[in-house]
Amino acid sequence: MSEITPKQQFVSLISNAKKILLLSHENPDADAIGSLLGLLIVLRRLKKEAIAICPDDLPSNLQFLPFASMLKKDLENQDLVINIDCGNVALDKLGYKMEDHTLKIVVKTLQGSLKKENLSVFLTAEDYDVVIVLDAPDLERISYFYQEHPELFYRSVVVNIDHHPTNTYFGKVNLVDLTATSTSEILIGLIEALEKEEKLIDKAVAHCLLAGIIGDTGSFQNSNTTPKSLTCAAQLLAAGADQQQIVQNLFKTKSLSTLRLWGRVLQQIQEDRQLRFVLGRANKTDFQESNAKEEEISGVIDELLRSLPDYDLVILLSEKEKGVAGSLRAINPTVDCLEIAKTFGGGGHRGAAGFLVKEGSIEEVAQQVVAKVREYQAKRLGLNLVPNSTPPVISSEKPTS
């Protein structure tokens, strides 16, 4: 007799479950929210008591998704439990009354006294038959929700649906497909397996899942794009997903302050042609004059600066509240940004890395970073830098044509 597959386990679990809890990770992206909402709509359609929790605020660019308002940040209707460690104290009786919206509980003792330290108070969630964790490589990514409700993960069957290579297989049932572009893509097959007569992937579900696929593939521009992700997208588009609304919200929405800030960065780009790198920067004045928040700087490096084919890498420095933040991106894939970022206490990957220098002005950090990158590039390209020369200066002049 052949063994039951995880997919069959999933179908059987859902069929038998009455109460289902859906969870995704902190800092949610389009795939986290898309998969959460897509599956929530399906389970509600199957008459399950399902709720979906995202342990973070819903980003404004994802609020367009259908039924986004059904997402909760935490469980509702939790029970309050008060445990009193009585030790040797002999109890007499317990009484309570309501007084002006105040519940007053009195514990009378026969002998000895209870102390405040003997009391422990916590909230307890109702039980769920199944807890489905979406798009999270491990339970820590569910953030405070996991810390506050650990009991839920012991008392329920945990289903882990994910596509990240770092997934720790923390579930009782693990539907982890590392070849999938996104958790939303994995859900298509799982939802179809739940179908009986009625099609479950309707317009709303298709819209949510397509948002997940488009988000995680960068609108089919990232290197993870597969033939399967494109056929899945075709299926969802045919089922009624509004691809224009998704693209508009995920990629084509910028504020005037963002564009003004990016303008200031672009206009001041400095380059080192010989050592093949460029440096962009945004100081406090740039943020203030463009009326932009700190996080508005982030897109300019991937959307624009990284598109310079004649350079090997790009650095972006920005003066933030906590210090000078640096981002590094490899344009030439043989450059190792992580090696450079580590020098400044940072982390990341070869292709994209970052760091935060808490001390020093942006000018000082720029000099240090430029010196380090020059050294790195000179070695890589086999060029000689004059030792002990004056501090490196790179050009922001109009290039001579």
Interface residues toward a copy of itself, by CB under 8 A = 219-221, 223, 225-231, 233-235, 237-238, 243-244, 247, 251-257, 259-260, 262-269, 271, 278, 288-291, 304-310, 398-399, 401
Q: What is the identity of the amino acid at 171?
A: G
Residues 393, 400 contacting (CB under 8 angstroms): no
60/73 Cα distance (integer angstroms): 15
Distance between CA atoms of residues 54 and 26, nearest Å? 7
Q: Of 387 and 399, which has the nearer Cβ to a copy of itself?
A: 399
Q: How far is the CB of 262 from a copy of itself (least distance, A)?
A: 6
* C-beta of 102 vs 400, nearer to a copy of itself: 400
Question: What CA–CA distance (Å, rounded) separates 129 from 257?
Answer: 47
Spatial distance between the Cα atoms of 280 and 357, rounded to a whole number of angstroms: 16
Q: How far is the CB of 44 from a copy of itself (least distance, A)?
A: 26
Q: Which of 168, 79, 197, 71 is nearest to 127 (CA)?
A: 79
Least Cβ distance, residue 25 to a copy of itself (angstroms): 26
CB of 197 to a copy of itself, least distance (A): 24
Residue ranges of alpha helices (H) inside 284-357 are: 284-290, 299-303, 337-343
Indicate the residue among 268 and 343 with the shorter CB distance to a copy of itself: 268
CA atoms within 13 A on the CB side of 251: 15
Q: Which two tokens stand for residue 262?
A: 């990016």
d(CA 123, CA 135): 27
In the complex with a copy of itself, the residue whose CB is nearer, 18 or 350, is 350
Cα–Cα distance measured from residue 312 to residue 315, given in angstroms and rounded to the nearest whole number: 10
DSSP symbols for 247-301: HHHHHS---HHHHHHHHHHHHT-EEETTTTEEEEEE-HHHHHHHT--GGGGTHHH
Nearest CB to a copy of itself, comparing residues 129 and 302: 302
> Closest distance between a copy of itself and the C-beta of residue 386, in Å?
25
CB of 22 or CB of 187, closer to a copy of itself: 187
Nearer to a copy of itself, 102 or 223 (CB): 223
Longest alpha-carbon distance in the chain: 96
Least separation in angstroms between residue 93's CB and a copy of itself is 60
Three-state DSSP state, 64? coil
Is the Cβ of residue 88 or residue 307 nearer to a copy of itself in the bound state? 307
Residue number with CB closer to a copy of itself (163 or 276): 276
Q: What are 102's two structure tokens?
A: 């105040």
CB 395, CB 277: distance < 8 Å: no
Nearest by Cα to 228 from 191, 177, 192, 193: 177
Q: How far is the CB of 165 from a copy of itself (least distance, A)?
A: 19
Question: Smallest distance from the beta carbon of 249 to a copy of itself, in angstroms?
Answer: 9
- Minimal distance in Å, beta carbon 375 to a copy of itself? 23
Cross-strand bridge partners of residue 103:
98
Cβ proximity of 205 and 38 under 8 Å: yes
